Every structure is written in C-alpha cells, then in structure tokens.
Structure 1
Amino acid sequence: MSDDLGNDGLRERIQKQGEETLGRVAQELLESPLVHSAIARAFEAREKAVQAQEAAMGALNLPSAADLERLTRRVRSLSQRLEGIEDGVDRLDERLASLPGAGIEARLGAIEASLDHLGNEVEALRKKLPAKPPARRAAAKKPTS
C-alpha cells in the first residue's frame, strides 16, 4: 500500500517537472527572434499561396473559397431579409382581416342573395297580373270651340 502511495507521489513530481520544463521551452521558443521570424515568414507564404490559388481559380473562371464564402453570406442575408418581408406580409394580412370591412365578400354574397330573392318576388307578382293592362277609360272631353 505504501508502495502505491510512493509511486503516485513520484509520478506527480515527474509530471509537474515535465509540465514546467515544457512551459519554459515553449516560452523560450516564442521569445526567440529566429522562431518568431520563421512563423511570420510561414504566414506570409501561406497568404501568397492563397492569393496565387485565387488567381489561378479566377483564370480558370472557377470560384474560390473566398468567393463561395461571400456568396454564402449574401444568400444568408437575403434569406433573413425575405423572412422579414414574409413576417411583414403576414402581419399586414392579419391587420386587413381585422378591419371592419374585412368580411366584404360575405356581405356582397348576402346582398346578391337578397337581390335574387327580391327579383323572384317581383317575377311572381308580374305573373299574377293580367296579360293585358286594363284599358283606361278616356274621360269624355268636349271639344272646346
């Protein structure tokens, strides 16, 4: 049992010393002007390679990754704007439905039904009337001389 505790303590000390050593080495590498300039040159080379790739893709009339990213952002922007327009149209539709004249189609249908009913009643009354209107009696007027 004490042997296990001794191994655990030794392992922790070695691990701690290893972490400290790695930290010092990393710090020294980051502070080294040689490593710093090498990293800077690597990033410059990467940027030049990206520019060359974009030029080659442009010469072949193919979109680059940057072109596709810009296109993706524009499509997202358009999608968000379209959703906003759809929401606005929905709100406008709801407002129009709540206006007092919103049931105008139903009201016009009721008016047409009333007119049809009145037309039928007038037709029924017309059928009840005699075919020839009664002759009016002409009042006997004496000619004035």
Structure 2
Amino acid sequence: MSATAFADELEREKARQRTYDAMQRKARAGHVTGGRVFGYENVEIRLADGSRSHVERRIVEAEAAVVRRIFDLAAEGVGVRRLARLLNDEGAIAPRAQQGRPVAWAPSSVFAVLQRELYRGVVIWNQSRKRDSWGQARRSERDQGEWIRLEAP
C-alpha cells in the first residue's frame, strides 16, 4: 500500500467517525437523523441569521389519525390483511408509493406501522450497522446497549 493510499484510508476513517459523532449528537438532542415517517413531517429549524440549525418531527394530524385507527383496530383483533383492505376501502391516506406501486395500504405497510417504536413514543437511533467490518453493505443489529432511546411526540 502506498503512503498516499494509507493516508487516504486514515482520512476516510476519520471522516466516518466525525459523521458518526455528529449524528450521535443530533440523536441525543432529539433531532431527526433520518427521513420522513408517515404521520410526521420533518421541519427545518433555523437560527436567527437564517442558517439551518436542525430538523424536528411534527405530527401531521390527518396521517396520525390513520395511525391511531390502525392501532385501535389491531387492539380489537383485526388482522393486517383485513386492516389494509378496510383502510383502502375507506380511502384512508396511505404512505407514499415506492418502486412504481400505487399509493395504497398493503398488509406489510400496516405491519410496519404496528412494529415501529416511534408510534409508541420512542425514537431509537444506532439500532443497526449499515456495513460490515470489511465495508460491504450488509445490515446487522447492534447490541441494545449501543442504542440511543428517546421519548418522541
């Protein structure tokens, strides 16, 4: 390995650690570190000089009503397939479509809502690794001791 390649690798590792540390600070402060979640909108918070400070989640009431309905019906024993069919028949607001699919509720979407900790008032950060020790894209769970858990709206 040449000296420049070695120096480049060291700088890449330092940049990775700086990014991780910054994301950890944001997570501990309760700021959004990921994308949009159904039922919430991401709102940029700006400083007095107009520069971007951070992003926070705010509840979108129309979508939140659908999430509450999912939990209510699931508590009554309604299954995810029947729930998806009910929501589609009612014309309930659905999460955005992915991969060219129509905007509609699928059983997997309902299941994902029921499994998401955020809807129970808990944000979890650092739950998984995106790459293995060789740098290959391979998701793996972290130990629960490494997770950062915070209360959410």
Q: TM-score, normalised by structure 2?
A: 0.25
Specify which structure has the higher proportion of strand.
Answer: 2
Q: TM-score, with normalisation over the residues of structure 1?
A: 0.27
| Higher helix residue share | 1
| Greater radius of gyration (CA) | 1
